[in-house]
Amino acid sequence: MSDMFFKLWDAGLIQLGIWETIYMTLISTAVSYVFGLPLGVVLHITEQGGIAPVPWLNRVLGFVVNFFRSIPFIILMVSMLPVARFIVGTALGNKAVIVMLIIAATPYIGRMVESSLKEVNAGVIEAAQSMGANTFQLICKVLIPEAKPALLNGAVISMVTILGYSAMASTIGGTGLGQIAIIYGHQRSKPDITWLCVFLMVIIVQVIQVVGMRIVRKSDKRINK
């Protein structure tokens, strides 16, 4: 380890970086789900042959989602700076980064949710319809609860993706492990710092994955116990 590591560690920057990465990821994931879950539900139910088909709305939403998903995150970030300034009053720093992450993750999560809901057996929906369930009941009592394991699985994948995005945020002044890797590792030619950041990210991803999968397994009642 170079002196740089001890300097950063003693200054608390690495610890702070870990925390910032984690908290940006968690907040962005949570807020993205607030928008992404309804978006995914609407994408699913308005489809032709869905439980509340509205083909034009489905096409419009589908187009918007595809539009945002086709822009690489780094470009999306710089192009959306005015939006961030409008929403949180600044185009710099972690606040702006979180806005960017949410803009990028919401369409992604929307698709994730949509594909999870597709896995719900159409027969179960039909059974609930035969009992007189309305659209709202179908969504809240059948679609989402029945898709729960798949939704949680999607959340784990989304969270890891968002974590990866957050590392790119140093471009617009975001902090966290990504910024440490770029500023102290790359720009000052200290590869050990870069690798340390990589290592720490790997650990965080592993923890998310292992804990997430345990929750998924526990939540799924289809497995014989």
Residues engaged in binding other proteins (CB under 8 A): 121, 123-124, 126-134, 137, 141-142, 145-146, 148-149, 219-225
Residue type, 194: T
Task: Using the minimum distance from each CB to other proteins, give the nearer residue, 95 or 148.
Answer: 148
- Coil, strand, or helix at residue 99? helix
Q: Report the alpha-carbon angle 32-68-98, nearest 5.
A: 35
CA distances from 132 to 4, 48, 191, 195 (A): 67, 21, 63, 58
Task: Using the minimum distance from each CB to other proteins, give the nearer residue, 137 or 209.
Answer: 137
Task: Using the minimum distance from each CB to other proteins, give the nearer residue, 75 or 131.
Answer: 131
Smallest gap from residue 216 Cβ to other proteins (A): 12
Smallest gap from residue 128 Cβ to other proteins (A): 7
Say how far apart CA 154 and CA 47 lie, in whole Å: 20
Among candidates 47, 221, 61, which has minimal Cα distance to 150? 221
Smallest gap from residue 223 Cβ to other proteins (A): 7
Give, as one character, the DSSP assignment of residue 206.
Answer: H
Task: Using the minimum distance from each CB to other proteins, give the nearer residue, 51 or 208.
Answer: 51
Say how far apart CA 107 and CA 42 lie, in whole Å: 12
Quick one: tokens of 193?
């710092």
Smallest gap from residue 148 Cβ to other proteins (A): 6
Cα end-to-end distance, the chain, whole Å: 48
Among candidates 23, 1, 2, 4, which has minimal Cα distance to 177? 23
Task: Using the minimum distance from each CB to other proteins, give the nearer residue, 90 or 137.
Answer: 137
Smallest gap from residue 121 Cβ to other proteins (A): 7
Smallest gap from residue 118 Cβ to other proteins (A): 15
Task: Using the minimum distance from each CB to other proteins, give the nearer residue, 151 or 193.
Answer: 151
Q: How many CB atoms lie within 10 A of CB 217?
A: 12
Quick one: tokens of 32?
């993205």
